[in-house]
Structure 1
Amino acid sequence: MSVKHPKVAVLLAAFNGMQWIKEQLDSILNQAAVDVTVFISIDPSVDGTELWCADYAVHHPSVVVLPPAGSFGGASRNFFRLLRDVNFDGYDLVAFADQDDVWHPLKLKRAGEVLTSQAADGYSSNVTAFWDDGRTHLIDKAQPQVAWDFLFEAAGPGCTYVLGKALATKLKLSVAAQWVELQDVSLHDWYCYAFARSNGLKWIIDPVPTMQYRQHQSNQVGANIGVGSLLMRYKTIHDGWWFSQVQLIAVLVGKQRHPFVQRWLLLGRKQLILLSFSAWACRRRFRDKVFFFLICWATAIVGKKTK
């Protein structure tokens, strides 16, 4: 008697991915105890990614390349396109994939089991960052969730996300309904986590790493390690990008009228100081809570760059 495996729709956003995409696709198609279909959306590339993926799909029936849809200009818009255009009927789970990582063989099986055993709607996990020179580093995002972390950070790398059918369906509807506004969201994984939590859905962040997270110069968002990364984070905050994303996501997930959010949403000097005293409820990791407190005060005193 055959065992029924969960059917998983894997959404892969590609752009100039020839250097890594074969290894990634092979690792996805070699997932154990699940039936996988990979849907690839390609941002117009100059390295032959489109032709290579088309040929790969011919020889692998479980790979579907979506028709061209113009230039996205970033992974976030590409993933929103995948969420909008891929039909999830007949699938039990929906997963996100980057083009340059390597998945552990049991990644999707484990995610499905965790979602089922914990009656959860969304899943993400820790990852092992790796570099071409052989270095590795555990990226730990599995600190306990707090009341408002979803408005200020993602649930770890989006390439680890696995969504239950109910969450994926609701998310698809929200993407279609807010398509224009979502074009200004820079990080799809942050929005997806915020959408789930703001709708009262259960999310699990698994402490077990389920994939190798490749680090290279083309990463849109890489491993948050070291002083250089801290300085880069400060720059995005000082430039106004991070706080503008916080405001946008709070509005898009319908939390702008919540009393807690109303106290700081304008992000003026007084609001930032008030927000700083809620740092414990806004970030998961202790180091990030301290940084959050300090950056609220620094921004209140120094201000943000004006555009």
Structure 2
Amino acid sequence: MSFELPEVAVLLAAYNGMSWIEEQLASILAQTNVHVSIYISVDPSTDGTEGWCAEYAATHPNVTLLPPAGPFKGAARNFFRLIRDVDFSEYDFVSFSDQDDIWYPDKLERAIAKLRSDDVDGYSSNVVAFWPNGRRMRVDKAQPQVQWDYLFEAAGPGCTYVLKPALAAGFKKLILDEWKRVQEVALHDWFCYAYARSHGFKWFIDPVPGMDYRQHAGNQVGVNAGFRTAVARAKKALDGWWFEQVRLVASLTRIGVPNMEADESESDLSILRIISNVRQYRRRPRDRVALLLICACQIATSLNTEPTSARD
């Protein structure tokens, strides 16, 4: 009886990754009971990443370095380029990868088993964050999904995502159809999860960690752990960036979402509706509290900036 290993296309976005990328690639190539093909897109770097990846690909037949196409100025645009340019139509599964993590040997095998046995289309998992000083922390994203969580958060780090062909193909079509607008999306993993959930695809968030998630000064997002990180994220949320991204993702996924009117004249009303339905927008209780605080600040800011004549 013949047994063919699942074929997995791994899309890896890189930028100034010489300190970590060799260890990351080794962990991907060491995956058990799957056959991987790695596609690397390098945002123009200053540390020799492109040259090193070219040499690596030349000696590893299942590693392909895509031609230069940047600058992308962000991981999301680099991933959108990978999704656009890689033909993964013949693969059994598609996976995303960062340049600086360490995958556990059974990461893909476990994901594929879940995708097949649970009849789901998209997979993500918890991770174990680690720092140069030796600190380690389990990052839990596996709370039960709620009705509109995908509008406000991802399904965990994008480097844990594994997609079935229909989901990957649909997401690729949306990116191609909306290429110009997609460039304004800041977080590809959030966008992918939003597309999946809003189009009826089933998603599983695995509570079992599948990788070590490296934290360092060059992380574009990283783990929300520590006072400085919390402050940085709060500033983005309070300056309107977060809600702009919410409306953009809602618009791109082409679904009418209650309580998220794009009309500026109804923005306060929308926020009040979010407050009244907060349990349907975030999975974790503490994140619901954070959302309530952000909404309250948005309303307060709106009242403070309202023209005096409008209040008289």
**3-state SS of the aligned residue for 2:260?**
helix
**3-state SS of the aligned residue for 2:123?**
strand
Equivalent residue number for residue 288 of structure 1: 287
Q: CA 1:263–1:99 in 2, change beyond 3 Å: closer, same or farther?
A: closer
**C-alpha distance in 1, partners of 2:51/2:37?**
19
**C-alpha distance in 2, partners of 1:266/1:300?**
13
1:267 Cα shift?
6.2
Instruction: Deviation per CA, 1:117-152: give whole Å up to 9, x if none.
Output: 110000000000001111100000000000000011
Aligned length: 305
1:276 Cα shift?
1.1
Does the aligned pair in 2 maintain the 1:103–1:212 contact within 8 Å? yes
**3-state SS of the aligned residue for 2:91?**
coil
**3-state SS of the aligned residue for 2:5?**
coil
Residue type at the aligned position of 1:291: A
Equivalent residue number for residue 261 of structure 1: 260
Residue type at the aligned position of 2:106: L
Residue type at the aligned position of 1:18: M
Does the aligned pair in 1 maintain the 2:149–2:281 contact within 8 Å? yes
Please state if 1:132 is matched with 2:132.
yes
Residue type at the aligned position of 1:121: D
1:244 Cα shift?
0.6
Equivalent residue number for residue 112 of structure 1: 112
The alignment yields a C-alpha RMSD, in angstroms, of 1.7
Equivalent residue number for residue 197 of structure 1: 197
**C-alpha distance in 1, partners of 2:73/2:180?**
15
1:274 Cα shift?
2.1
Does the aligned pair in 2 maintain the 1:6–1:92 contact within 8 Å? yes
Q: CA 1:266–1:87 in 2, change beyond 3 Å: closer, same or farther?
A: farther
**Which structure 1 residue ranges, 5 or more long, are not aligned?**
none
Does the aligned pair in 2 maintain the 1:38–1:64 contact within 8 Å? yes
1:265 Cα shift?
7.8
Equivalent residue number for residue 272 of structure 1: 271
Q: How does 1:75-86 map to 2 (within 5 A)?
A: 75-86=75-86
Q: TM-score, normalised by structure 2?
A: 0.94
Q: CA 1:56–1:225 in 2, change beyond 3 Å: closer, same or farther?
A: same
Please state if 1:239 is matched with 2:239.
yes
**C-alpha distance in 2, partners of 1:304/1:115?**
48
Q: CA 1:260–1:299 in 2, change beyond 3 Å: closer, same or farther?
A: closer
Q: CA 1:265–1:286 in 2, change beyond 3 Å: closer, same or farther?
A: farther
Does the aligned pair in 2 maintain the 1:158–1:189 contact within 8 Å? yes
Residue type at the aligned position of 2:101: D
Q: TM-score, normalised by structure 1?
A: 0.96
Instruction: Deviation per CA, 1:15-38: give whole Å up to 9, x if none.
Output: 010010000000000100000000
Equivalent residue number for residue 100 of structure 1: 100
**C-alpha distance in 2, partners of 1:236/1:63?**
37
**C-alpha distance in 2, partners of 1:129/1:25?**
18
**C-alpha distance in 1, partners of 2:157/2:115?**
18
Does the aligned pair in 1 maintain the 2:125–2:206 contact within 8 Å? yes
**3-state SS of the aligned residue for 1:268?**
helix
Please state if 1:215 is matched with 2:215.
yes
**C-alpha distance in 1, partners of 2:220/2:303?**
23
Q: CA 1:175–1:71 in 2, change beyond 3 Å: closer, same or farther?
A: same
1:266 Cα shift?
6.2
Equivalent residue number for residue 206 of structure 2: 206
**3-state SS of the aligned residue for 2:181?**
helix
1:70 Cα shift?
2.4
1:247 Cα shift?
0.7
Q: CA 1:68–1:305 in 2, change beyond 3 Å: closer, same or farther?
A: farther
Equivalent residue number for residue 300 of structure 1: 299
Residue type at the aligned position of 1:156: G
**3-state SS of the aligned residue for 2:4?**
coil
Q: CA 1:172–1:53 in 2, change beyond 3 Å: closer, same or farther?
A: same
Equivalent residue number for residue 26 of structure 1: 26
Q: CA 1:41–1:224 in 2, change beyond 3 Å: closer, same or farther?
A: same
